[in-house]
Structure 1
C-alpha cells in the first residue's frame, strides 16, 4: 500500500509531504482501505510511545 502524509509545522507554517510504502499479509477480503488505515495509524502510535515515552 502507499501512504501519503501531509504535515504542517505549527511554529514555522512550513508544510511537507511524505510517501511511505508498506506490505501487509492480509488477503484482499480483509484488507479494506479503512482497516489498512487503522493499521498504519496504530503503528505510529507505537513508535511515538517508544520515542516520546507517552
Structure 2
C-alpha cells in the first residue's frame, strides 16, 4: 500500500485486492496476540516475494 499504515482504504475495503485484504486480515489476527493461530492458505493470494516475507515473519 502506497502510504503504509496511513493508507485510507475506504468503506469495507472495496478498493483492496484479494492479497491486500488477506494481509490485513493476517495482521489483525497477529495483533490480537492469540495463544493459538490457525492458518489456512494464508499466502494463497501473495506473490512470491510477499509469501517469503510473511513466512519469515511467522517463522514458518
| TM-score, with length taken from structure 1 | 0.34
Give the number of the structure whose residues are more often helix, by fraction.
Answer: 2
Q: Which has the larger radius of gyration?
A: 1
| TM-score, with length taken from structure 2 | 0.31
Give the number of the structure whose residues are more often strand, by fraction.
Answer: 1
